[in-house]
Structure 1
Amino acid sequence: MAPVPLAAAGALAGAAYLNARFSLAHDLLFFRILGSSLFSLFRAQRADKINAFYVLEQQALDKTTGGKPFILFEGRSFTYAETYETVLRYGAWLRERHGVRERDVVALDYQNSETFVFFWFALWAVGAKPAFINHHLQGAALTHCLRESTAKLAVVDPRVAESVTEEVRRELSGMRFVVFTPEVEAEAREQEPVRYPDAVRSEGEPTDMAILIYTSGTTGMPKPAVVSWAKGYMAANISAKGTDAGQTDVIYTCMPLYHSAASCLAVCSALFIGATAAVGRRFSTKTFWKEVRDTNATVIQYVGETCRYLTVAPPETDPVTGENLDKKHCVRAAMGNGLRPDVWDRFKERFGIDTIYEIYAATEGAAGLWNVSRNSFGKGAIGRFGLLSGALSSLRSAIVRVDNETELPWRDPKSGLCQRVITGEAGEFIVRLPADDIKKGFQGYYGNASATNSKIMRDVFRKGDAWFRSGDVLQWDGDGRVYFNDRIGDTFRWKSENVSTAEVAQVLGLHPAVQEANVYGVQLPNHDGRAGCVAIVLDTPHANAQVLASLAAHAREKLPRYAVPLFLRLLREVGMQNTGTNKQQKQALRQQSVDPSNVRDDALFWLKEGTYVPFGQTDWNALEEGAVKL
């Protein structure tokens, strides 16, 4: 009989092998997230307390959490109990002074602040629904979003009140605007805190609307997506369980609260576990790490290109000792979505981050993926499955072949049905919906049936079934890892080949001189398809011949010939073409093409004789005249 230490060592080795072989740890995480979400929802629905106001109330009245900080903002701390009392005051003020009633939608046009959170929960406290408005919007876009919300009341941050012009007010004559000035705030704080009866917060189903959150509007006007209570519960559990957070953790976000990443994945996850949410007003490389250190944050949130911008920013040093402060923090995990493979390791190594928790989700999406990565195995993956969770997920989701001409899921000419891709092949990610009651799986866009229906496919694998279209091209490899390939519409065809903008951007991002690369296809006179172009930020404001030649050689070595960008547009600084959530936009760049008359402030280059050389009006004229064939 083997000695006990040897037997124990053998058992541990065997367990480690099985975990590595079948990703059992990810299976366990999958079922923890799913199980805790379903159990919480079931218990809340049974008590008719699905409204997450009750979670705040529970934390505030609990002796363990009531006196601990819930929100940290710009050096101020607000405990769960203080937040709860303020929420009751603001809720009573909204109800008694402004006539807000249960089921009403109220627009909230606010920058990140503690007040944003107070009003958000105050609306829930009186059974109303907040519509989170992007505070950067102005003019027609702002008018559109406010009108689409159907709100009769909008609460406005004094910092952004100038965007509510007389024209906006005239266009929305039936809407009342309340700018929350210090005088109005004093009035609201004098209101007696009232906890209204549970009946005003009664909800029918977990799929009922909790919040309206708008899409980014990169391809047209933003659309209000219905965020259900069920999705809020799931988001909170995904973040909390995935980062293994507890009551002692501080989750820092400076992403905009009007977006679901910050509101649902950060603030709600802190709420549900009794942790602390540290909120920054906005993202800036100059204040990010200072606020992280000042709040003793243990988990940080990123979205889009956030980690890239932090990585290319100059290091901070102690003004007295000169010590490099890159690793002077308490952060153990970074959570978010959009961390590209070319930045992944550089970010971890520079700032000493142990764990990356990449989440794939969309505000209106019908499912999410996640990947906990502490080593190189999970690098770059947006999702990861074990043997059991992968099998279960394949019943509810699929990756299907895409027709390159129509950019729609491919259908068999005989059967008319779609086809799953083989392992390792790229295709569109879709999610099964209840065919007889779509809203149980996808709540869609508020008041916009046509936009909602555009995301639904029927007769996919059998007659009568229904599936949600993500619009994203993903790959699922043989080890259970899922990778983002591209967004449908971003992939373009050149020389009869499909070019993935994400793949090209990743390769270019590995060049040492590149700080940011936004890749897209442009239409050219007298040419079919779209030619590759990259809006690029280099580590020097002026691109010299050596850097341009090196960049061209790097692209030609690492990419297929047809995927090497033919044009280069030099931007002055990172983030110039980004949304408020640090996601790159391509639409305006595509529309401007490489016509120098449209691209006035940026230098243009094109690939000639193995390097990038200046491209000017004369060269564009030659393209128009058909004198150049690329």
Structure 2
Amino acid sequence: MRLSVKIKRELKFLGGLTRTLKRVKSIAPDSNNLICDDLETAVDKWRDRPAITFEGKTISYAELDAMANRYAHWAKGQGITRGQTVALFMPNRLEYMAIWYGLTKVGVATALINNQLTGAALAHCLKISQAMHCIVDPETSPCFEDVKGQLDRHVHQWVLGAAHGEQRDLVKALKSCSQLRPDRETARDGLVAKDTALFIFTSGTTGLPKAARITHMRAQLYMRGFAGSTGAKETDRIYVTLPLYHATGGLCALGAGLLNGGSIVLRKKFSATHFWPDIVSENCTMFVYIGELCRYLANQPEHDLERAHKLRLIFGNGLRPDVWNDMLDRFKVGDVLEFYGATEGNVSLFNFDGRRGAVGRIPRYLRSKFNIRIVKFDVETEQPIRGTDGNCIEVKPGEVGECIGSIGSDARSNYVGYADKAATEKKVLHDVFSKGDAWFRTGDLMRIDGDGYIYFVDRIGDTFRWKGENVATSEVSERLAGFDGVQEINVYGVKIAELDGKAGMVSLVTTPEFDLEAFAKHVDEQLPTYARPLFVRLQPAIETTGTFKYRKIDLVTEGFDPAKTKDPLYFRDPEKGYVKITKALHAKIEGGAFKL
């Protein structure tokens, strides 16, 4: 007798949930089993198996561990003590994971700094990390050099490559460091899972990047959770092009592979041109995505190898339903595992049964097992709506509200937050459903349907997402407002056809001496690529609300369409710089003529 589609979906959902919970159930805040212990257990089980392949070189699990041990002994040799932090400012490379893995073995935390940052944002991250040592490579060293004078303390710069001046040669220093594991009893005695392992930076909803504190327990939840949710095996090879300074690529994907005896095929960055040849030649069985990566693939012309692969699963977040269809129907990947999670928070969702477009599901019969709720939300005040009793109100099926997570003491509901205590408390909502309770605010708007499927709607506030990164409008405004000829600046995100996320746009009130070409150069100097405004609008004045806040809703609605405004509009052409937008150019942009 054939099972109905609904029963098959239910079994698939329960199977995925069971696998995941099984892997994370033993994680506890006061346990002395740390993330490095999990990885050492994997090494001991699969010593000779290939662990990571990068740019033609493959290292085994044993070699990965030996590399990590050298960094552990290097830290001890430099007098870097338990509880201190080392900043890691590099692009993806073979040594990346080995560095933080090794440092956790001796109780040292690693601040994973976005390698695209420059200027003030980079200096800010280095400052709040409290690191006295920073590891760079030849690509990021010049950026560090540019900001070292802005730091409030001397930070030793260690280069994985040629060192100059005050720089220190890390390659040379590591040669004298032992490959053997540091003694566990000495190095990790007294450390527990609620101690800090990493700092991962997020722009949050406003301002400069914040340092989300990742405890050993949270790192274990990421790595063990995805080892279970993906159902990965020894034979799996996972293709990773996402940056390792983010949790999705650096913890979720690595955990899925390395805690199951599989292999990681790591690339420095994503390339739509090389994607399918890589996937096929490396015999990859999975890859980790963000939605925009998949859209790049869907927008490519047909490739000879796009169905010649062995991909049985892709997993990630931000996959739009139409691209979801392309991945399954055009490219014939075996399955999609969409998930949702907040780096610094306690909310996580998995779409185990493949309902296209959903980020996860909370069935009614399992509602009490999840710490997640969606509450009614006022977009104007940017606060949850409360009833006459003072409590928040849950949304009904089909309604949009803010997703929140109940804060508890167990591993799954624990909320650690940021290095900054004030920023941590800002994300907590009190007295939600009863006096004294506390809930984590995700800052994300979602809706739930009658079957318990949850769909992501939008970010709350001004922050928008572009190229897989959160762009805080306040930060962009701050960096660009001081340019000659700019009197006022209003930053917001606009949609481009079906592209994921929103592209940056600035509305400017300028004086006659404003120079658009010089402004473009200033933008490049001040901002990382993903935060640079793609569109500029020149206005005689910027409209404000009754409380003197800049109005953005009309600007967002009008976007960069010259038919909707008489204001001059400009587009950042990849070859020519900012050029005036005509109706013809607008049509080309919306039609996908430019690789954005």
Tell me whether the two structures share a fold, i.e. TM-score over 0.5. yes
Task: Give distance in 2, aligned partners of 1:217 and 1:366.
Answer: 15
**1:312-323 paired onto structure 2 within 5 Å:** 312-316=299-303
C-alpha spacing 1:93/1:332, structure 2 compared with 1 (3 Å):
same
**1:507-522 paired onto structure 2 within 5 Å:** 508-509=497-498, 518=502
Give the equivalent residue in structure 1 for 2:3. Answer: 13
Give the superposition deviation at 1:425.
1.2
Task: Give distance in 2, aligned partners of 1:469 and 1:290.
Answer: 42
Give the equivalent residue in structure 2 for 1:430. Answer: 404
Matched, 1:384 2:356: no
**1:432-447 paired onto structure 2 within 5 Å:** 432-434=406-408, 441-446=414-419
TM-score by length of 1: 0.74
Q: Could you tell me which amino acid in structure 2 is paired with residue 486 of structure 1?
A: D
Aligned partner of 1:568 among 557, 560, 574 = 560
Give the equivalent residue in structure 2 for 1:403. Answer: 378
Give the equivalent residue in structure 2 for 1:181. Answer: 161
Q: Which moved more, 1:30-39 or 1:401-410?
A: 30-39
In the alignment, is the contact (CA less than 8 A) between 1:60 and 1:81 conserved in 2?
yes
Matched, 1:418 2:395: no
Deviations 1:61-106 (CA, angstroms, capped at 9, x unpaired): 23xx11001111111110001111121122212221x222222211
Give the superposition deviation at 1:35.
3.0
Give the equivalent residue in structure 2 for 1:227. Answer: 214
In the alignment, is the contact (CA less than 8 A) between 1:474 and 1:486 conserved in 2?
yes
C-alpha spacing 1:71/1:169, structure 2 compared with 1 (3 Å):
farther
Deviations 1:276-308 (CA, angstroms, capped at 9, x unpaired): 111111112122223322321111011141111
Give the equivalent residue in structure 2 for 1:543. Answer: none
In the alignment, is the contact (CA less than 8 A) between 1:27 and 1:385 conserved in 2?
no
**1:436-585 paired onto structure 2 within 5 Å:** 441-446=414-419, 448-489=420-461, 508-509=497-498, 518=502, 530-531=552-553, 565-568=557-560
Task: Give distance in 1, aligned partners of 2:588 and 2:261.
Answer: 57
Unpaired segments ≥5 residues, structure 2: 163-168, 465-491, 508-538, 546-550, 590-596
| Aligned residues with identical type, % of pairs | 31
Unpaired segments ≥5 residues, structure 1: 1-8, 317-323, 493-500, 510-514, 535-564, 571-592, 615-630
Q: Could you tell me which amino acid in structure 2 is paired with residue 158 of structure 1?
A: P
Q: Could you tell me which amino acid in structure 1 is paired with residue 24 of structure 2?
A: S
In the alignment, is the contact (CA less than 8 A) between 1:390 and 1:480 conserved in 2?
no
Q: Could you tell me which amino acid in structure 2 is paired with residue 432 of structure 1?
A: S
Give the superposition deviation at 1:140.
1.2
In the alignment, is the contact (CA less than 8 A) between 2:196 and 2:216 conserved in 1?
yes
Give the superposition deviation at 1:341.
1.6
Larger radius of gyration: 1
Task: Give distance in 2, aligned partners of 1:521 and 1:90.
Answer: 43
Task: Give distance in 1, aligned partners of 2:68 and 2:453.
Answer: 43
Deviations 1:487-540 (CA, angstroms, capped at 9, x unpaired): 112699xxxxxxxx99x959x42xxxxx66737999885698645667xxxxxx
Give the equivalent residue in structure 2 for 1:263. Answer: 250
Give the superposition deviation at 1:211.
0.8
**SS state of the match for residue 360, structure 1?**
strand
In the alignment, is the contact (CA less than 8 A) between 2:19 and 2:231 conserved in 1?
no
TM-score by length of 2: 0.78
State the Cα RMSD in Å: 3.4
C-alpha spacing 1:315/1:155, structure 2 compared with 1 (3 Å):
same
Task: Give distance in 1, aligned partners of 2:147 and 2:188.
Answer: 35
Give the superposition deviation at 1:53.
1.7
Deviations 1:418-451 (CA, angstroms, capped at 9, x unpaired): 11111221100011113x99997110111x1221
Deviations 1:348-389 (CA, angstroms, capped at 9, x unpaired): 222211211101012112120011345xxx010001234543
Q: Could you tell me which amino acid in structure 1 is paired with residue 502 of structure 2?
A: N
C-alpha spacing 1:221/1:517, structure 2 compared with 1 (3 Å):
closer
C-alpha spacing 1:53/1:219, structure 2 compared with 1 (3 Å):
same
**SS state of the match for residue 99, structure 2?**
helix
Deviations 1:571-611 (CA, angstroms, capped at 9, x unpaired): xxxxxxxxxxxxxxxxxxxxxx965379772554689xxx9
Q: Could you tell me which amino acid in structure 2 is paired with residue 195 of structure 1?
A: R
Deviations 1:387-436 (CA, angstroms, capped at 9, x unpaired): 5434422xx22110012320110122x322211111221100011113x9
**1:135-174 paired onto structure 2 within 5 Å:** 135-165=115-145, 167-169=147-149, 171-174=151-154
Task: Give distance in 2, aligned partners of 1:274 and 1:241.
Answer: 13
Q: Could you tell me which amino acid in structure 1 is paired with residue 372 of structure 2?
A: S
In the alignment, is the contact (CA less than 8 A) between 2:106 and 2:182 conserved in 1?
yes
Give the superposition deviation at 1:188.
0.8
Task: Give distance in 1, aligned partners of 2:380 and 2:99.
Answer: 47
Q: Could you tell me which amino acid in structure 2 is paired with residue 82 of structure 1?
A: E
In the alignment, is the contact (CA less than 8 A) between 2:126 and 2:151 conserved in 1?
no
Aligned partner of 1:293 among 259, 277, 280 = 280
| Greater share of residues in helix | 1
C-alpha spacing 1:168/1:127, structure 2 compared with 1 (3 Å):
same
In the alignment, is the contact (CA less than 8 A) between 2:52 and 2:264 conserved in 1?
yes
Give the equivalent residue in structure 1 for 2:60. Answer: 79
Matched pairs, number = 510
In the alignment, is the contact (CA less than 8 A) between 1:400 and 1:430 conserved in 2?
yes
Give the superposition deviation at 1:59.
2.5
Task: Give distance in 2, aligned partners of 1:298 and 1:19.
Answer: 23
Matched, 1:59 2:45: no
C-alpha spacing 1:427/1:605, structure 2 compared with 1 (3 Å):
farther
